[in-house]
Structure 1
Amino acid sequence: MNIEATSALPPREAMEFDVVIVGAGPAGLATAIRLRQLAVEKGQELSVCVLEKGSEPGAHILSGAVMDPRALTELFPDWAERGAPLKQAVTRDEFLFLNETGAKTTPNALLPKCFHNEGSYIISLGEVSRWLAQQAEALEVAIFPGFAAAEVLYDDTGAVMGVATGDMGIHKDGTPGPNFERGMELHAKYTVFAEGSRGHLGRQLISKFKLDAGKDPQAYGIGIKELWQIDPAKHEPGLVVHAAGWPLDNDTYGGAFLYHAEGGKVSIGYVVGLDYKNPWLSPFEEFQRFKTHPAIRKHLEGGKRIAYGARAITAGGILSLPKTVFPGGALVGCEAGYLNVSRIKGSHAAIKTGMLAAEAAFDALVAGRSRDELSAYPEAFENSWLKAELMQAKNFKQWFKKGRTVATLMTGIEQLVLPMLGFRTAPWTIHRTKADHECLEPAATQPKINYPKPDNVLTFDRLSSVFLSSTNHEEDQPSHLTLKDPSIPVSVNLATYGGPEARYCPAGVYEFVGEGADTRLQINAQNCVHCKTCDIKDPTQNIVWVTPQGGGGPNYPAM
């Protein structure tokens, strides 16, 4: 029995705030902080609350990450004195083009500006989020971790009036258990959505308000990351390595990073564009193969893997950026898609857009307005340094549909040569027409890929990897990985595409079991690291990721 059909449910209690923010990542926390900074500066009463589905701020945050501190400096000019965890400055950049056995290093003088990281810092974005949460709480922001926003609430005019958290203590069959608790409604004059890439509620809002009308289809990548403690003799604090080429073929978008952070740690990761066409491809296995390359393994040999995780990234750029405001609310950060994929940086954009949305909301509240469109937010973006930065990278992802060679050449022209000639952005625009889930070709038409078995020293399997993510969900709860039609995984995905969900998931959530007429898709929802890849790449769009009961998912210590 589904709980929504149960007639005797108690009503949800409601709390009122001026602004409710969904997501305690850098975008959401920057929004909250800027709102309260303005309230203190102007002597205004302003209540702000942040909901976070993770067990604490930062628990679900995963990124490379090299951080450009420009936006953080605008938010807190004294961030260093406040103890912000930006401690390891970038000291050297290295860009490699790999073939199966060799590597060519690109001279720094030939690297476009987007690949230069002078003035940036190698960070853990999870640690930065925890620090931002401390700053927010010092400004009297109410942060509620372990509460997933599960539903958007609308008022009688159709404007967003807040969100509701999910009910707790529900059995797997949908009936309320002995510890059942009704969710809470949080009402607001404005609601800001900062769920990160492919946000569950943001996706609904984009569809309902047709925010992506007239835009290129959004593009995504899956980013898979490991944290290693390496041999001190091999550690070069501040070294930033980026790589393209092997093991992916020339027509598949992707690349890798390896960052020498403080304390003898190395962050290593791999990004594969989810517009790949071969259903036999496994991003997780491509990452494991990448680590065996001589130019990469030399950093890791003698070290130990200490953490693992995965997360989708919103990579379409400014041509795929939806309208970011609607009656009663706004989208900020990667929820909207402000990542500069050419720089592989999004945290500075998340903070900046959170600040812009906060300033628009504050002015509206002071003027006595509520639940209208915060048009001042996109207008401020149009006049910002971030808009100029994203415009310079507008064609980056699109060129890769023409192959790596063409993309490399055109990135050099657009971001190295044209600026020398006085162009702020390319005078031409390249558009995408296909969504990622439309790009898979039938399995029978594509070459199978035979991946080697893990050696458990340098390469590993999915389940041992998920163990390092500290992922956990209550076992007796409804699956948060839902199917619109339970027959489609076997009748279409397996029959036509070879069951790609068993390969594109980096956590071993999906597996086909049984034989012949008894074959079925088994969903191991407890393994889910909330990367959202299945929600994006499923060729039939039959899989819908919804919020699990609060606090479930990975628990990243310093990713």
Structure 2
Amino acid sequence: MRESMEFDVLIVGGGPAGLAAAIRLKQLAQDKGTDVSVCLIEKGAEIGAHILSGAVMDPRALSELIPDWQEQGAPIKTAVTEDRVIFLSETGGRQIPNALLPDSFHNDGNYIVRLGNVAKWLGEQAEALGVEVYPGFAGAEVLFDEAGAVKGVATGDMGLTREGEPGPNYQPGMELHAKYTLFAEGCRGHLGKQLEAKYKLREGVDPQTYGIGIKELWEVPAERHVPGLVVHTAGWPMDSATYGGGFVYHLEDNLVSIGFVVGLNYTNPHLSPFEEMQRYKTHPEIRKYIEGGKRLAYGARAIAAGGLQSQPKLVFPGGALIGDDAGFLNAARIKGSHAAIKSGMLAAEAAFDALGAERSRDELAAFPEAFRTSWLHAELHKTRNFKPYMKKGLWMGSLLFGIDQNLFGGKVPWTLHNSADHTALKPAAECEKIAYPKPDGVLTFDRLSSVFLSNTNHEEEQPCHLQLKDAGVPISVNLAQHDAPEQRYCPAGVYEIVQEEAGPRLQINAQNCVHCKTCDIKDPTQNINWVVPQGGEGPIYQGM
């Protein structure tokens, strides 16, 4: 029998969206001289442990939420001092004059941040306001009342055996009930996906489309460090038909964030986003910033990049999707934290008004209405065609997006559409194999040494959180038709084809999983279902 607790508002996920919602609810209650009980659960071992982003941050939403964030000591220190956008060939690069860049590529007034540290600071602000924050608790199951509305979530059971039976250290999960539940799980949320299916939130909208972002944090020699420099690249090592691009962000303290994003609509099953990231670092325009430095951290995360046309309905009886659970990221700006914060604030304001009217578990219609009239909607509408344009290839996509933004200001009378990424893979026999160089252990590395730097840990004696709907499909379909692409699209070495006397089999090394969700997105038959492991497990990113 599970115990239960009651709250006015429950928030699932301790990223920028969930924390902003929690803070805003408490601020509104203070302003009105009332009290609202707010609980926030986070599957990571601590707030910020599962946060990974580039990240260049637009402070607009944070300034609305906490106007004196600088005085309050927010870990947002490095203002952007210079933008460089470079188109790379295999051996060189050409910088695009800033005057020709669309507004979305300009970062005046923005900051380079370690978003995990920002989330941790937001968590401290939330707790100071009276939010009950519980890291290490994974929302494992959505709970519904008799009328079919969401009434909360149940946290996962702890101490189950691999077979799913209670072990010697078994502890049942807890039921957390609320008048409204806000889901802020991040990209491809496990519970958000279920809610989209139950309430048909995706009816009439495009499929979501994604990228995988792979990031490393480096400490570099002082002479290679340019505080405030933001470098974005397109082109090599991607071919012109495949969406992808890199970034190099110079933080404070001789730290450099370097990363590479590959659109998950790529067609060649031999492509490995991890290997492309490693190859990217060897380019003369990139290695010059990190050569002689030391790699400190590694991680990977899927990114919802479809824009407004891929955004589901935001509300349902008893709750709402916020942040990247609903795809609020602006892919053209390569930014999502400001959008996540704003979406959390708007949802919180709708929930607070509903509570004040003594409503409970209805649809928070005021949230999508407020979003439609907000600056965030205007921003996302302006760049809505970015990802569909880029699917036309690097050169044509760049030209069309430039025309869209520079000549029409994003107000073209058409909206292009997205397709599901898992449908894009071609048969392996039709595609050219890619020969990736061996890692040198200095500038380039293998998967396992990289996963070690993510501080990832899972208790092995528990049910596998990477579930196969049909155990035969990885061999009969994925291996036979696509040469087992899960071996390459996973950035953590989770999936491995093992040759045995009886034939090949798929081995799942779930303990390596960094929770990027790429397998759940890219698997060609949608046979892999990512569910939460025990609370507190996975990576422990140090300010990524």
TM-score by shorter chain over 0.5: yes
Question: Letter of the aligned partner of 1:522 in structure 2?
Answer: Q
Q: Select 1:128's aligned residue among 110, 113, 118.
A: 118
The answer to whether 1:49 aligns with 2:39 is yes
Question: Letter of the aligned partner of 1:303 in structure 2?
Answer: G
The answer to whether 1:429 aligns with 2:415 is yes
What is the alpha-carbon distance in structure 1 between the residues aligned to residue 345 and residue 391 of structure 2?
Answer: 34
The answer to whether 1:223 aligns with 2:209 is no
What is the alpha-carbon distance in structure 1 between the residues aligned to residue 534 and residue 374 of structure 2?
Answer: 38
Q: Aligned-pair RMSD on alpha carbons?
A: 0.7
Displacement after TM superposition at 1:216 (Å):
1.1
The answer to whether 1:486 aligns with 2:476 is no
Q: Select 2:75's aligned residue among 66, 85, 103.
A: 85
> Which residue of 1 is the match for residue 2 of structure 2?
12
Displacement after TM superposition at 1:416 (Å):
1.8
- Residues 161-220 of structure 1 show CA distances to partners (whole Å, capped at 9, x for unaligned) of 000000001111211111100100000000000000000000000111111111111001
- Residues 12-44 of structure 1 show CA distances to partners (whole Å, capped at 9, x for unaligned) of 000000000000000000000000000111011
> Which residue of 1 is the match for residue 53 of structure 2?
63
What is the alpha-carbon distance in structure 2 between the residues aligned to residue 192 and residue 533 of structure 1?
Answer: 24
What is the alpha-carbon distance in structure 2 between the residues aligned to residue 427 and residue 106 of structure 1?
Answer: 27
> Which residue of 2 is the match for residue 535 of structure 1?
520
1:212-361 aligned at under 5 Å gives the runs 212-361=202-351
Displacement after TM superposition at 1:515 (Å):
4.1
1:359-374 aligned at under 5 Å gives the runs 359-374=349-364
> Which residue of 1 is the match for residue 161 of structure 2?
171
What is the alpha-carbon distance in structure 2 between the residues aligned to residue 49 and residue 386 of structure 1?
Answer: 26
SS in 2 for 1:270: strand
What is the alpha-carbon distance in structure 1 between the residues aligned to residue 464 and residue 500 of structure 2?
Answer: 24
SS in 2 for 1:96: strand
SS in 2 for 1:297: helix
Q: Select 1:190's aligned residue among 172, 180, 191.
A: 180
> Which residue of 2 is the match for residue 210 of structure 1?
200
> Which residue of 2 is the match for residue 403 of structure 1?
393
Question: Letter of the aligned partner of 2:8 in structure 1?
Answer: D
Question: Letter of the aligned partner of 2:395 in structure 1?
Answer: T
Question: Letter of the aligned partner of 1:211 in structure 2?
Answer: L
The answer to whether 1:418 aligns with 2:408 is yes
What is the alpha-carbon distance in structure 2 between the residues aligned to residue 477 and residue 138 of structure 1?
Answer: 35
What is the alpha-carbon distance in structure 2 between the residues aligned to residue 179 and residue 217 of structure 1?
Answer: 41
TM-score (norm 2): 0.99
SS in 1 for 2:253: helix
- The list of structure 1 runs, each at least 4 consecutive aligned residues, that deviate by more than 3 angstroms after superposition, is none
Displacement after TM superposition at 1:402 (Å):
1.2
What is the alpha-carbon distance in structure 2 between the residues aligned to residue 43 and residue 428 of structure 1?
Answer: 47
What is the alpha-carbon distance in structure 1 between the residues aligned to residue 392 and residue 264 of structure 2?
Answer: 15
Displacement after TM superposition at 1:518 (Å):
2.3
> Which residue of 1 is the match for residue 128 of structure 2?
138
Question: Letter of the aligned partner of 1:457 in structure 2?
Answer: V
- Residues 445-488 of structure 1 show CA distances to partners (whole Å, capped at 9, x for unaligned) of 11111101001111000000000000001111111011011111
The answer to whether 1:100 aligns with 2:87 is no
Any stretches of 5+ residues in structure 1 without a counterpart? 1-10
- Residues 269-309 of structure 1 show CA distances to partners (whole Å, capped at 9, x for unaligned) of 00001010000000000011111001001111110100000
Displacement after TM superposition at 1:377 (Å):
0.2
Displacement after TM superposition at 1:517 (Å):
3.8
What is the alpha-carbon distance in structure 1 between the residues aligned to residue 321 and residue 440 of structure 2?
Answer: 43
- Residues 297-351 of structure 1 show CA distances to partners (whole Å, capped at 9, x for unaligned) of 1111110100000000000001101100000000000000010000000000000
The answer to whether 1:378 aligns with 2:360 is no
- Residues 217-246 of structure 1 show CA distances to partners (whole Å, capped at 9, x for unaligned) of 100110000000001001000000000000
SS in 2 for 1:18: strand
What is the alpha-carbon distance in structure 2 between the residues aligned to residue 252 and residue 83 of structure 1?
Answer: 41
SS in 2 for 1:402: coil
What is the alpha-carbon distance in structure 2 between the residues aligned to residue 517 and residue 329 of structure 1?
Answer: 49
SS in 1 for 2:262: strand
Question: Letter of the aligned partner of 1:363 in structure 2?
Answer: D
SS in 2 for 1:240: strand
> Which residue of 1 is the match for residue 426 of structure 2?
441
What is the alpha-carbon distance in structure 2 between the residues aligned to residue 283 and residue 267 of structure 1?
Answer: 17
What is the alpha-carbon distance in structure 2 between the residues aligned to residue 426 and residue 114 of structure 1?
Answer: 16
What is the alpha-carbon distance in structure 2 between the residues aligned to residue 379 and residue 264 of structure 1?
Answer: 44
